[in-house]
Chains A and B, each alone.
Chain A
Amino acid sequence: MHNLYSTVASVLSPASPYAADIGRLFWITFWISMVILVAVSAFVIFNLIRYRDRGQEGLPPQTHGNMVVEVTWTAIPLAILVVLFVLTMQTMAAVSPSSHPKADPVNLDVIAHQWWWEFRYPGSDVVTANELHIPVGTPIHIELTSADVIHDFWVPELGRKMDAVPGHPNTMLIQADKPGVYLGACAEYCGAGHAWMRIRVIAQTESDYQNWLKAQAQPHPAPKTSLQAVGMGLFNGLTCSSCHVVKGSGQPEGHVVGPDLTHLADRQTLAAGVVPNTPAELKKWLADPHSIKPGVYMPNLHLTSQQLDALVAYLEEQP
């Protein structure tokens, strides 16, 4: 099994200007904090060693306090915090959409569901799930909403995280400087599947991205083999199409319950990052979704092995 998670998803390896700004602020705060921590710890430990009771007679000098030092150690932290607050305000502005007006923006609609992500590309018909393709070097404006409970979109290397709150649409910015795969996850506890509501951002050069977008806009390839044809029939005949859309399958597009499965074969993972997207894993998934992702809202349809093979052939575009 190839490892889907061999790269880091670290706040400290920023790959966007926004994550870099926040990373810088983090390090400044970190070093200020270290100075404070080391100073306090050193003082405490020094006292513990130097003034340990060695059985001396009498009592140490009974000092009750000192106004000057009190004022000093009120004023110094205050001054540090004023600086920190100014930096905070600056960084806040730098990473927020309002300071990056959309000139020629790439917009994305992200809709969180229990427990998967719906990605819509406005201006085209493209809808994907759990894996987000973006062009490098451009700020991406994300419109974030939720279809059910509160979720949170977080790809640490690309920018801040933000909650997807039902009834409260949010906008946020991400960007990727270099092509590559960036890992993220839903960060707000949203129920049984919260651990497996992962995000995978695939950043591509502008031309790769445009090609990808064009390909995605096409309907799902028509069946080329009889097995695939059977699969398409099953997809429409079983209840699959009441929850899923496959453009080109001939079914009307209903309201969204499950991920869009058009061009499923294009994705690296299944079910928001639980397993790699291979025909074998898809077969297991369709045979019993709960054994792969406990709690999931896709029912076990008790399919026969032949039905499974046909569906896999159709969805994964396998002969």
Chain B
Amino acid sequence: MRQEPIAPHALPFPPLTRGWGWLAWFSTTDHKKIGILYMVTSLFFFGVGGIEALLIRIQLAAPDGKVLTPQEYDAIFTMHGTTMIFLVVMPIFIGLANYLVPLMIGARDVAFPRLNALGYWVFVLGGIVLYLALFTGSLANAGWFSYAPLSEAAYSSRPGVDYWIVGLIETGVGTIAAAVNLLATIVRYRAPGMTWRRMPLFVWMMMITSLIILYALTPLNAGLIMLLGDRLLHMHFFRANVSGGSAILWQHIFWFFGHPEVYIMALPAFGIMSEVVPVFSRKPIFGYTFVAGSGIAIGLLSFAVWVHHMFAVGLSTPMNAAFSAASMLIAVPTGVKIFNWSTTMFRGRLRMTSSMYFAAAMIIQFVIGGITGVMFASVPIDWQLTDSYFVVAHMHYVLFGGSMFGLWAGVYYWFPKITGRMMSERLGRWHFWLAVIGFNMTFFVQHILGLLGMPRRVYTYPGLPDYAALNLISTIGAFILGIAVLLFLWNLVSSFRHGEEAGDNPWDAWTLEWATTSPPPEHNFEKLPPVRSARPLFDLNHPEYADHARSSREAKA
């Protein structure tokens, strides 16, 4: 095979992993090991958050549920939301990026390996602190956005909320460190030839995500510090009933973070989709520039829509109108992505792997979640549906149906690279169908519950017509989804032990991570193929179609 050796950083490479045996995991600065640590930690917390979700659903299975007290229920939904967002979806994508980004851009390591390790451990500390509150007998229970003044000492006097604040500040700091590292890596460590327009789309999306992290998480931390000042030092920021503080200011700060946060959880999944769909369609991504560019547009717009979480607060009409327009606008670049993925499939040669199944379901489910988002962006509709189960349905459609399904597509796709073994397709298919059925069963009916006037965050509900039946369906769905998740975990474990050997490039994929062994050596690459287009391995393996020779081919034809 014609392969020009380009060793990007030719000097000898010191070992990044010190220590012995499993202890080495604690001292490692290898981005791949840190990536795996992130992902395993997140999977653990996914179990925790999932069990919390099941408790929620058990309590709500029938009217007048008595399994949990309201205080317990409130703590559980607060921790469920917090865990899933801060300890599951965000870090799992950061972990995946940690593992993949250097490989995809042909780098030997990240820019700041030690900062990277530090970021991970600070994040773990934050996760521990969040749950450490258990030992005070009070978990945080003011909801994942802890609206003041409910979250103030006057109304939440127990220390749970303090732990919540400190834990979030720590995960925030860890995440910012990870983002700085990723950005510096992407900006400075791309292999020769990898211009911006040849960068894999997953790297593009992670770059935008990291920028959003930088500019969304520091405001959150500032707000959290103020809230902590209110609670512990009796300061006056958000104490609306006392001397001029403002409950609404907290909402502005929180959602200035909170909305970009949802794209922090969505863009990495968009990146995964933009890798998986082309490879299994055997075609390049349709409209590379538009997919990358729409990501930038989403990143920018995401900072200009936060008030759509506050339409019911009673802000001025111009304010509501402006943020309504901006929120609707975000549907345009997102739509561009959806259309480009589905058109990539058009006239392709679709290999229906488990990864591709998840990707296809992601498109449809994400559109469902996206259009309910646009309904909220229409202010009067939000005035009816905000804080109802319609919102719960929306957020799980985008987060679970979109981000988690996208993540699953990515896991089935990259698992062979990370472990050297293939995941079981048979288990994968079971996992897929149970997840699709369970997921839609759990959350589709919640749209109807919202329309029927069921508020969210209620620990129980009176038996209005249809409430009992719909909630029961949702609970049963959650358990089916739970089985799907268990099958997934089982697939991970059993494939890791006994899966088929994968080889370097089992999918005939085209980005650089497939140019090295599976799993890659500590220094990532022995040699790199030349990067002359966005699909360097494709150019190498299919010279007759090579992207970089496209214009000359077309000229001949």
- Give the B-binding residues of A (Cβ under 8 A): 3-12, 19, 21-22, 25-26, 29-30, 33, 36-37, 40-41, 43-44, 47-48, 51-53, 56, 59-66, 69-70, 73-74, 77-78, 81, 84-85, 87-89, 91-93, 95-96, 98, 114, 144, 148-150, 152, 154, 156, 160-163, 165-168, 170, 183-195, 198, 273, 294-295
Contact = CB atoms under 8 A, between A and B. Distances in A.
Contacts of B452: 8-11
Given A11-B451, A62-B284, A167-B247, A5 B367 contact: no
B384 A156 contact: yes
Contact of B387 (A26, A43, A95, A152): A152
Interface in B235-284: 240-241, 245-248, 281-284
8 contacts: A26-B375, A40-B363, A59-B282, A64-B550, A74-B332, A84-B328, A149-B147, A166-B149
B211 interface: no
Interface stretch (B18-26, B45-53, B66-74): B66-74
B460 interface: yes
Contact of A77 (B331, B465, B542): B331
A65 B247 contact: no
Contact of A25 (B339, B368, B380, B456): B380
A29 B374 contact: yes
Nearest to B333: A74
Contact of A189 (B150, B246, B287): B150
Given A22-B384, A154-B453, A195-B459, 13 more contacts: A19-B384, A48-B352, A64-B550, A65-B340, A81-B331, A89-B321, A148-B241, A150-B147, A166-B240, A188-B387, A189-B147, A294-B70, A295-B70
Contacts of B317: 92-93, 96, 98
Contacts of B464: 5, 7-9, 183
Given A22-B384, A70-B336, A166-B240, A193 B70 contact: yes
A295 B367 CA distance: 40
A190 B240 CA distance: 15
Contacts of B248: 165, 168
B386 A85 contact: no
Interface string B54-80: 000000000000000111001000000
Contact of A92 (B155, B288, B374, B379): B379
Contacts of B351: 53
Interface of B: 69-71, 74, 142-143, 147, 149-150, 155, 240-241, 245-248, 281-284, 286-290, 312-314, 317, 320-321, 324-325, 328-329, 331-332, 335-336, 338-340, 342-343, 345-352, 360, 363-364, 367-368, 371-372, 374-375, 378-381, 383-388, 450-453, 455-466, 542, 545, 547, 550
Contacts of A295: 69-71
Contacts of A150: 147, 149-150, 247
B381 A163 contact: no
Given A161-B387, A189-B456, A85 B325 contact: yes
A186 B455 contact: yes
Given A11-B384, A148-B149, A189-B456, A166 B241 contact: yes
Contacts of B247: 150, 165-168
Nearest to B378: A88
B349 A51 contact: yes
Contacts of B550: 64
B268 to A, nearest CB: 21
Nearest to A87: B378
Contacts of B386: 161, 187
Contacts of B465: 6-8
Contacts of B348: 47, 51, 60
Contacts of A11: 384-385, 450-453
Given A41-B364, A294-B69, A29 B375 contact: yes
Contacts of B328: 81, 84-85
B383 A22 contact: yes
Contacts of A185: 453, 455, 458
A195 B150 contact: no
Question: By CB atoms of chain A within 10 A, which of B340, B349, B368 has the most?
Answer: B349
Contact of B288 (A52, A65, A77, A96): A65
A195 B458 contact: yes
B346 A184 contact: no
A30 B363 CA distance: 19
Contacts of A194: 70, 455, 457-459
B287 A70 contact: yes
A60 B349 contact: yes
A96 to B, nearest CB: 7
Contacts of B545: 59, 62
A160 B383 contact: yes
Contacts of B457: 189, 194
Contacts of A3: 463
A299 to B, nearest CB: 17
A60 B70 contact: no
A168 B314 CA distance: 8
Contact of A47 (B69, B149, B346, B450): B346
Nearest to B534: A64
Nearest to A46: B346
A189 B143 contact: yes
B286 A63 contact: yes
A162 B71 contact: no
A187 B455 CA distance: 5
Nearest to B313: A163
Given A26-B375, A44-B364, A187 B241 contact: no
B287 A66 contact: yes
Contacts of A69: 339, 343
Given A37-B368, A148-B149, A165-B240, A22 B381 contact: yes
A40 B369 CA distance: 13
B326 to A, nearest CB: 10
A81 B329 contact: yes
B383 A161 contact: yes
Contact of A53 (B143, B349, B385): B349
A56 B349 contact: yes
A4 B364 CA distance: 40
A144 to B, nearest CB: 8
Contacts of A53: 282, 349-352
Contacts of A43: 342, 346
A192 B385 contact: no
Contact of B324 (A9, A30, A85): A85
A3 B379 CA distance: 34
Contact of B451 (A10, A36, A73, A89): A10
Contacts of B74: 189, 191-192
> Top 8 A-B pairs ranked by shortest CB distance?
A9-B453, A160-B383, A195-B458, A170-B314, A65-B287, A167-B240, A47-B345, A33-B371
A53 B462 CA distance: 52
Contact of B155 (A61, A149, A273): A149
A73 B282 CA distance: 23
A51 B542 CA distance: 21
Nearest to B467: A5
Contacts of B450: 11
A44 B342 contact: yes
Contacts of B69: 294-295
Contacts of B455: 154, 185-187, 194
Nearest to B553: A62
Contact of A195 (B360, B384, B461): B461
